[in-house]
Structure 1
Amino acid sequence: MADPSQVRELVARCLEARGMAYCPYSHFPVGAAVLTAGGAIVTGCNVENASYGLTVCAERTAVQRAVVEGHRAFTAIAVTCDIKDRFVGPCGACRQVLIEFGPHWVVYLTKPDGSYRETSLEELLPLPFSPHHLLGPPAKD
């Protein structure tokens, strides 16, 4: 992703989404913003639940919202939380959800001050289980 203004917008939108997080149990707000192949930005935040297993992470919320809006191709995601001294990446479940839509995402790990580190989904999730494993040619007996 080369357009610096688009990266700034993506980072700003994930920071904004973090402010909408519903996290009364962990007090760990997370925001995410995905960039679609068509240039739209869709945001998400974490939404906790008293039944902890039903909690949904910000990254999955953003992807699910984007899918509801008709998007299926993505190029980047920015993710932020309140940790100030280091960059934090998506959890394993979120990485698996992202890979569902292809391995070539640019990932911006973002601190609360807006600084970010660029990485890739391929780096964060090497040797993934992906749709290709289910949709590839049938195994020979």
Structure 2
Amino acid sequence: MSAEIDELVAAAMGAARGAYAPYSGFHVGAVLLFDDGAVVPAANVENASYGLSLCAEANAVVRAMTEGRRGGLVAVVIVGGRPDAAGVVMPGAEPVMPCGRCRQMLHELAALGGSDPEIIGASERGLTRMPLSALLPHAFGPANLA
């Protein structure tokens, strides 16, 4: 799966090029990997009203759900950093992991299929990997509403 992870990191780096980050200058790309092999990339989109900015992970979840995906989430790969002069975003010194809102959104999508996706944050030092349940223990989700 190492070659596949390398491809996903490259896809996240490519997605980060599409970020709209004129305020922070920090570009984030995320890709969602599904059990059928589908990859859904997205980037962060900032707004002058900072609270309206959208994370790459949230955009990827919205895109996936808009495409009809309900569950089947296997992995999420995230790359964040400042683009170089050519617009290439390389992983920064620390891995970017999902914020609380994005963790909740990822949990909702994963819970629809009963999965616990691996969250992978790329950094200069390598990959940080852990299951979503470790990032969001005791998560609130669809099962709590039954």
After superposition, the C-alpha distances for 1:76-127 in whole angstroms (9 at most, x for unaligned) are: 100111162222311111001001022501111112x583121110111111
How much has 1:41 moved relative to structure 2? 0.5
Provide the residue aligned with 1:19 in structure 2: 17
Q: Name the larger-Rg structure.
A: 1
- In 2, the alpha carbon distance for the partners of 1:78 and 1:34 equals 7
Give the Cα separation in 2 of the matches to 1:8 and 1:70: 26
Runs (5+) with no aligned partner, structure 2 = 82-90
Identity rate, percent: 41
* Runs of 4+ residues deviating >4 angstroms: none
RMSD value, Cα:
1.6
Aligned to 1:64: 62
Tell whether the 8 Å contact from 2:121 to 2:127 is kept in structure 1 after alignment.
yes
Size of the alignment, in residue pairs?
Answer: 132
In structure 1, what residue type is equivalent to 2:74?
T
Please say which of residues 66-75 and 90-99 is displaced more in the overlay.
66-75
What's the counterpart of residue 128 of structure 2? 117
Residue aligning to 2:143 = 132
1:23-42 to structure 2, matched below 5 A, reads 23-42=21-40
Deviations 1:39-81 (A, max 9, x none): 1001010001112221110001111111122222211100111
Q: Does 1:106 pair with 2:118?
A: yes
TM score, norm. by length of structure 2:
0.83
